[in-house]
Structures are given as structure tokens and as C-alpha cells.
Structure 1
Amino acid sequence: MHSRIFQISKKPINKECYLNKDTLTQEYDSYFDYYLEINDKLRKYNINCLVERVLPKGMFELTSENTMRYNGGLEQWKESFVADIRKKAEAINTANMIECMGPLYQLENTLKDPFDTAYLFYLDKEGIQSYDEHSFAFINFIHSLEVGTTLYIGGVLDYHS
């Protein structure tokens, strides 16, 4: 599966510190087959997709090609998320709990990836963090933000797993 990894920070990210294919750990036991750097045009397109289609509607807005502003809305999103988790948990029973791609699998994926994408987030502006995180980690990151906070977008990578 191909998807993207986004480097996001509360502070501006120098281009020299952008996430790149050599930044993240790629070893024999890695989750990924490979990482690819993408060109500027594709980077801008993917940033727009992140803000307009992946993140909860209206929670963020692009303020430039490298920045987005947090507009709030996390509390409403959390209520919806908890309701979805409950619904998925109620669908699990002894007959279907071990089904391949069944309700237990769906619940596990929702807990790890609440945005229901394979997008990953790299929440380190210094370029020293050697791992990326699923969208639930980004939810925790958002939780610390005040409405109006500007976030800075650094490198965007394509990955295959």
C-alpha cells in the first residue's frame, strides 16, 4: 500500500530539516518496504488533500503552502469518534471475533487510525525523531493546541508497506 508521511510542527521547519528518505529508520524489521521523496507539486497537492479531505472537516485550514491553522472542533470530533468506537465494539461477538478483516480488525484499525487513511505523521521539527506515528498520535498532538495555532508542514514522503 502506498500512502504519505507528513512532518508537522508547532515551529517553523527549515528546509534543511525536512523529512527525507534517509531520516526514518529503514531496517530489516521495518514496517515499510521503502520511502520516496516527492516533488514540490505533488507535495502541495498532498498537503491540500490532508487539510481538505483527511483531517476532520473545518478543523484546519491552509494559510500558506507550508502552514495550516487549527480552527478547533476537536471536542465534537471526539464525541463522534467515541460513538463510532462503541458501535464497532458492539458488533464484535464470539462468532465473528477471529474473522479476517472482521469487526475486531475494524475496531483495531479505527483505534490506531481514526482518520481511516494510511497517512502517518512525523511530529518532530529537528529531524532527530526516527519514527512516524499513526493518526491517533496526531489527535493527541491536536489536543495540546489552542484555537488559532499555526502548524508548519515540512517534508512529505511517499511510502510503501
Structure 2
Amino acid sequence: MHSKIFQITKVQVVDEDCFLNENTLEQGDSSYYDYCSEIDDEEREEHIAYLVENILPEGMFDLISENTMRYNGGAEQWKETFIADVRKKAEAITTDNVLEWIGPVYRLEQTLKNPLDTGYMFYMDEEGGQSYAEFSYAFMRYVCELEVGTLLYIGGVIDYHF
């Protein structure tokens, strides 16, 4: 499957040497992604718009330019929704289904790692030293520390295969 990795930082101009590219990343287990590649500008713009309009919680961000989004708040509401979802999935675990291969334990684990339920991943390192992207939980933790009105800047956006 293919999806995208977004470099999102609080720094407006990420040094070009630190720009996310197809050679930057390894998977969290120290192996390279199966496949990473650059994308063209049109596809990049489409995925940035899709991220803001469809993946991130509704109203939490506005895209104010092709590379900039503004945080509008909503972290407290998102945390409440996230906690309710985690509790609901945890309550679904029973002694009868606890060992099911793709059962409620798996669904709970996926919710904890990727609460936005997306193939999109996030790279928030402004210095380019991190060798992996993160699932949506790490990004949402980052967002929950923002003040309303904070601008986030989108650096590299790359395609990856997993």
C-alpha cells in the first residue's frame, strides 16, 4: 500500500539540508521503508489539502497557504473523543476474544498508535536527524501542546510503500 509522509514543523523555513526526502527515513525497526519517492507539486498540494480537510479533526486547522496551516484549537475535545474511543475498544476485550488475530486487542492497539486511522505519517523533526516518521498519535500529542493560532509549516511530502 502507498501513502504519504508529511514533514510538519513550527519553523517556517526548514533548512534545505533538513528537508524530508526519499532518502531520509528508516522504519522504526531500523529497516528502510519498502519504497519512498518524491512526488510532484500538484500531488503534494492535493494531499496537503486532503490532510487538513479530511484527516485532521474537523475545524482544528485551516490551510492558509500551500505550505502553512493554522491551529484553531480543539485539542481538549479531541482528547475526550480519543479517550472515549480507547475505553470503548478496551471494554470490547473479553477472555473469549483476547487472542483473536485481528480482534479487539489489535483494534485497540491500532487506535492507540493511529487514532486518526490514516495511512498518512508525520515527521516533525526540524533538524532532520530523525530517521523515521510517526503515526498519528505522535502528531496529535504534538498538536495538543500548541497554542491557538500557532502556524505549522509543511516541508517535504513524500510517497511511501508499506
Could you tell me how far apart the structure 2 residues matched to 1:12 and 1:50 are? Answer: 19
5+ residue gaps in structure 2?
A: none
TM-score normalised by length of structure 2: 0.93
Q: Which amino acid aligns with 2:135?
A: H
Question: Helix, strand or coil for the counterpart of 1:145?
Answer: coil
TM superposition shift of 1:15: 6.8
Q: Are the structure 2 counterparts of residues 50 and 27 from structure 1 closer, same or farther at C-alpha, using a change threshold of 3 Å?
A: closer
Superposed CA RMSD: 1.7
Aligned to 2:78: 77
- State whether residues 15 and 154 of structure 1, in contact with CA within 8 Å, keep that contact through their aligned partners in structure 2: no
CA distance in 2, matches of 1:156, 1:15: 15
- With 16-25 and 54-63 compared, the bigger mean Cα shift is at 16-25
**Secondary structure at 2:53 match in 1:** helix
Taking the TM superposition and a 5 Å limit, the aligned residue runs for 1:64-103 are: 64-103=65-104
Once the two structures are superposed, residues 44-67 of structure 1 have per-residue CA deviations (whole angstroms, 9 ceiling, x without a partner) of 000001100000000001000000
The equivalent of 2:6 in structure 1 is 6
In structure 1, how many angstroms separate the alpha carbons of the residues matched to 2:126 and 2:28?
23
8 Å CA contact 1:13–1:125 kept in 2: the answer is: no
**Which moves more between the two structures, 123-132 or 13-22?**
13-22
Please report how far the alpha carbon of residue 27 of structure 1 lies from its aligned counterpart in structure 2 after TM superposition: 10
- Distance between the aligned counterparts of 1:13 and 1:37, measured in 2? 19
Scaled by the length of structure 1, the TM-score of the pair is: 0.94
* Cα deviation, residue 29, structure 1: 5.2
For 1:60, the equivalent position in structure 2 comes to 61
SS at structure 2 position matched to 1:158? strand
Paired with 2:116 and 2:42, the residues of 1 have a C-alpha distance of 24
Letter in structure 1 aligned against 2:79? K
Instruction: Give the structure 2 partner of residue 146 of structure 1.
Output: 147
